[in-house]
Amino acid sequence: MQTTFEIVTRGAGLYEFTRDVAAWVTGTGLLTLMIRHTSASLLIQGNADPGVQTDLMAYFQRLVPPSDHPSMAYLTHTQEGPDDMPAHIKAALLPVSLQIPVQDGRMRLGTWQGIYLFEHRKAPHIRQVAAHLSQG
C-alpha cells in the first residue's frame, strides 16, 4: 500500500503533517515515509510547545550558516543562492526517511511526537513524501 503526500512550503521552517498520515494508515504493520528531495528533511519532534520548532530552526541556521557567511567561504556549490548548499548539508544531517510501527490503525508515536517536513530553502516549494505501509 503506497501513496504520496504533497506538502506546500512557504519558506524555511517546520510543517507538521501528522494528521494527514494518521488519516491514511490502517491495520497493523510498518509505515515508512521518504522525502523525494535533497534540500528538505523529515523529522519526528515535540509538538507541544511551538518554541521547540523555533529553537530547532535557530540552531540549524547557526550550525550550517548561509554560504555567503565568512565561515562558509570554502563552499563551491553556490550558484543557486546562499541557502542552497546549506540546505543539502541539513538534508544530510537530518532524516530522509521515517519508520513508524502501526497497530490497529494507529501509529505508535509517543504522546509528544509529531511528524514534520523541515523545509531548508527560502523559496516556496511543493514537496513530495513517498509513503509505504506494510501489513503484518
CB atoms within 10 A of CB 120: 26
Question: Measuring CA to CA, which residue among 99, 91, 120, 136 is closest to residue 21?
Answer: 99
Give me the sheet containing 13-16, strands edge to edge: 13-16, 113-119, 40-46
For 34, the 3-state DSSP assignment is: strand
Candidates 25, 98, 117, 125: give the one binding a copy of itself (CB under 8 A). Answer: 98
In the bound state with a copy of itself, the residue whose beta carbon lies nearer, of 124 and 135, is 135
Q: Of 36, 68, 106, 124, which one interacts with a copy of itself (CB under 8 A)?
A: 36
Least spacing, CB of residue 23 vs a copy of itself, in Å: 19
Measured from the CB atom, the residue of 54 and 124 that comes closer to a copy of itself is 54
Kind and range of the H or E run holding 20: helix 18-24
Kindly list the residues in this chain that would bind a copy of itself in the complex (CB under 8 A).
2, 28-30, 32, 34-39, 43-46, 49, 51-52, 54-56, 58-59, 62-64, 74-77, 85, 88-89, 91-101, 103, 108-110, 112-113, 128, 130-132, 134-136
